[in-house]
Amino acid sequence: MEDLASIFGSVEKLSSAGFLVRTLAVGVILYFASRFLPRRSGGQYAGYDFAFFWMMGGLVASPLFDSKISFASVLTAVVTIYILHYLISYIIVKNRTMSRIIGGMAIPLVAGGKILRQNMKKALFPLELLLSEIRQVDAPNLAEVEAAVLETNGHVSVLKKPNFQPVSPRDLNINPVECGLPVLLINEGRVIKENLRKLGYNREWLEGELQKYGVLNVKDVYLATLDGAGQLYYSVHTGA
């Protein structure tokens, strides 16, 4: 078995066992890399996120490509790109001009129901692709489209003409209760006291509510949530 210097350094040849140790070491880097992953990179909002997203995985795993690739060079490259991504993100949040230069801007493709030929040409966006993009958002007919925008992540957002939009409660003068985000009350049998307290309830109240549905033991509940309308959802362990 090789010494540590050849496993982590740059050598001509490394045994399979050596590569196994390398894989585990890469696993440790993987942990920290995913802990500090910039959230926006996964969302791929702009081109530089896209580059980061697709490069970083290969970069982290690169000591496994070839025994000549040393951990020192990989770590240096990873840290450099993390810092660079952070700096670019910092700059574009602070400065809109820089954001336009680095991240690009959204390009309107359809406005007022009319296709903007100039913009289509400028974005090198073929008509076929526009039709494909609007099919994917349930607006297969261009006649339904009031506005379409090519976003910086390469997808097209569509605003439908009012006559093709679904009827909303507002149109019918119905005032529905706002449900909001449900709050987690029980997770795998454990009551989340903090969330209960925030809502002004306590454990006894929750147990009482569950008893109304015939659930006697909180431990049997896999998940329970409460939405803004006061509706309790629960799911019990079923064994399956």
What residues form DSSP beta bridges with 221? 236
Q: How far apart are CA 240 and CA 238, in angstroms?
A: 5
Selected from 5, 65, 72, 213, the binder of another protein by CB under 8 A is 65
Between residues 86 and 205, which has the closer beta carbon with respect to another protein?
Answer: 86
What residues form DSSP beta bridges with 223? 187, 235
The b-or-e profile of 64-82 (16+ CB within 10 A means b, else e) is eeebeebbeebeeebeeeb
Candidate ranges 93-101, 116-124, 193-201, 205-213; the one touching another protein (CB under 8 A): 93-101
Told to check if 103 binds another protein by CB under 8 A, we report: yes
Told to check if 26 binds another protein by CB under 8 A, we report: yes
Specify whether the backbone of 70 is left (phi greater than 0), alpha (psi in -120 to 50) or beta: beta
Selected from 24, 124, 216, 240, the binder of another protein by CB under 8 A is 24
The b-or-e profile of 205-221 (16+ CB within 10 A means b, else e) is ebeebbeeeebeebeeb
Told to check if 149 binds another protein by CB under 8 A, we report: yes
Told to check if 169 binds another protein by CB under 8 A, we report: yes
What are the two backbone dihedrals, phi and then psi, of residue 231, each rounded to the nearest 5 degrees?
-85, 125
Between residues 148 and 210, which has the closer beta carbon with respect to another protein?
Answer: 148
Between residues 153 and 207, which has the closer beta carbon with respect to another protein?
Answer: 153
Selected from 7, 8, 56, 221, the binder of another protein by CB under 8 A is 56
Candidate ranges 18-26, 109-117, 199-207, 215-223; the one touching another protein (CB under 8 A): 18-26
Told to check if 70 binds another protein by CB under 8 A, we report: no
C-alpha closest to that of 201 among 209, 190, 211, 189: 209
Minimum Å gap between C-beta 139 and another protein is: 10
Selected from 8, 41, 191, 224, the binder of another protein by CB under 8 A is 41
Told to check if 73 binds another protein by CB under 8 A, we report: no
What are the two backbone dihedrals, phi and then psi, of residue 217, each rounded to the nearest 5 degrees?
-120, 125
Residue labelled with tokens 């590569």: 19
Instruction: Please tell me the total number of residues recorded for the chain in this structure.
Output: 240
Residues 178-217 that bind another protein (CB under 8 A): 178-181
Told to check if 46 binds another protein by CB under 8 A, we report: yes
Between residues 86 and 213, which has the closer beta carbon with respect to another protein?
Answer: 86
